[in-house]
Amino acid sequence: MHNKRILNKDQILLLLFFAVFILIRTINFNHFFSFVYDQANFSTSALEIFRDRKVQLIGPSISINLGGREIFQGGIIYYFFLIFLLLGHFDPKLSTYLFIFFSGLMIVPLYYGIKLMHSKNAAVFMAILYAIFPIYIHGTMSLWNPHFQFALTPILIYVMGMHHVRKSKILFLALSFFAGFLLQFHYQYIVVILGLFIYYFMIKKLGIRNIPIFILGLALGFSPMILFELRNKFYNLNTILLFLSHYKDVFGKGNPIGANVHYFLSISLFLFMAIGSILRNQLNKMKLICIFVVLLTWSTLLYVIFPSENAVVKDWSYDDELKVYNIIKNSTITNYNISSFYNATATTQKYFLKRDSININYDDYRSNKYLYVIYYKDVDFKTNRAYEMNTFNPSIVINKWQINEKYDLILSQRI
């Protein structure tokens, strides 16, 4: 009598990739973990949405503006933050680790989607890349909208695979809907959507009768932003036209838009998918093992054996942030505000305060009697260009705590 195998070969392979995915991100998770800038800002917005029970159509703006005009992304960003924050009881570290776990599970739709469209070897190739390619490791270790977009893209690829097999108009509507939905997370996804249009209508030659289905799906997926545009006299569209008419002013001053490689994670996944499709007949078992060994060795060196410094904020860690927060939380001081060397409005500290329902006048830096400042040792924070610090004058330092070898927490009183 033959025993029935509990898992088939595909499932065993996926379990291996998932285990490697989680393990390589877990070993030095504390070292690489951060909760600053957009992470803290967007988490605070998600927390406020949850507590106020409000519906938010728009999300954060992109990183460029002109004369106070901004382009807003989708409110889904805040709700996706909220999902993981709720699951993690609003603990940033636990919430982020749950996102890592979720991202690891996305190996499954990625693998089966590629297998349905191309071949098993191409699917294994993509699963290897997704699990242990270094930039993909970094791109699944923090809560951020381009990382959400990247982690959700395998679902779109799976729907593409299902459509490849069934040729269903409903599935074609679903894949275009999901592409429009993912566009809300970051607008560089327009490159993916253009790629999908070229793939289906110029390469696969689906026929022009499917174009309305494609456009309808995109419109439905992007509908919260379309509704925002209709209710606000096409604010985003007019801002885009304004940016284009002042192209040199917007893009000619070393503006960092597009400079961060993390914005292009999702696009790169489709690029590798195309490469895997082209090479699918050359990707034999031995070559895949070699690719796996090389990438695993490379990633192990970078993230396990010789982990680089977490350079989001140099010489500053999440544990330092918690140390500061515990000092502030346990103080009897009232009528204060907080500022920091790396972020003048100290958004991380304010997330902790709001999470724990500690009320201060968060935006007032003019009438607060006290100011907590996280700043360099033996340097006068009032020389900083940020008004949150340099306008707190005249004042005197009434207390100081050493946080680490480079930074102190300073308590200053206005006089």
pTM: 0.93
What are the Cα distances from residue 39, in Å, to 42, 227, 316?
A: 6, 26, 15
Q: What is the pLDDT of residues 208-261, one digit of tens each?
A: 999 999 999 999 999 999 999 999 999 999 999 998 888 777 766 554 554 578
Distance CA 370, CA 372 (A): 7
Structure tokens belonging to residue 216 = 């309808």
HSE value, Cβ hemisphere, 13 Å, CA-based, for 110:
29
Query: What is the phi/psi pair of residue 413, to 5°?
Result: -115, 135
- For residues 21 and 104, the answer to whether their CB atoms sit within 8 Å is yes
Predicted local distance difference test score (pLDDT) of residue 254: 53
Q: How wide is the angle at C-alpha 158 spanned by C-alphas 155 and 164, nearest 5°?
A: 145
Please identify every stretch of the chain with a pLDDT value under 70, giving residue numbers as ranges. 1-4, 251-259, 310-311
Predicted local distance difference test score (pLDDT) of residue 218: 98
Distance CA 195, CA 200 (A): 9
Question: Which residues, including other chains, have CB under 8 Å from residue 210's CB and lie 6 or more apart?
Answer: 169, 172, 200, 201
- For residues 134 and 261, the answer to whether their CB atoms sit within 8 Å is no
Distance CA 15, CA 61 (A): 38
- Looking only at the bridges linking them, the beta strands covering 69-74 and 58-66 are antiparallel
Which residues does residue 70 pair with via DSSP β-bridges, in sequence order? 65
H helix or E strand, kind and range, residue 149: helix 145-166
H helix or E strand, kind and range, residue 166: helix 145-166
Question: Which residues, including other chains, have CB under 8 Å from residue 280's CB and lie 6 or more apart?
Answer: 118, 119, 121, 122
Distance CA 415, CA 406 (A): 28
Distance CA 180, CA 192 (A): 10
Distance CA 70, CA 111 (A): 38
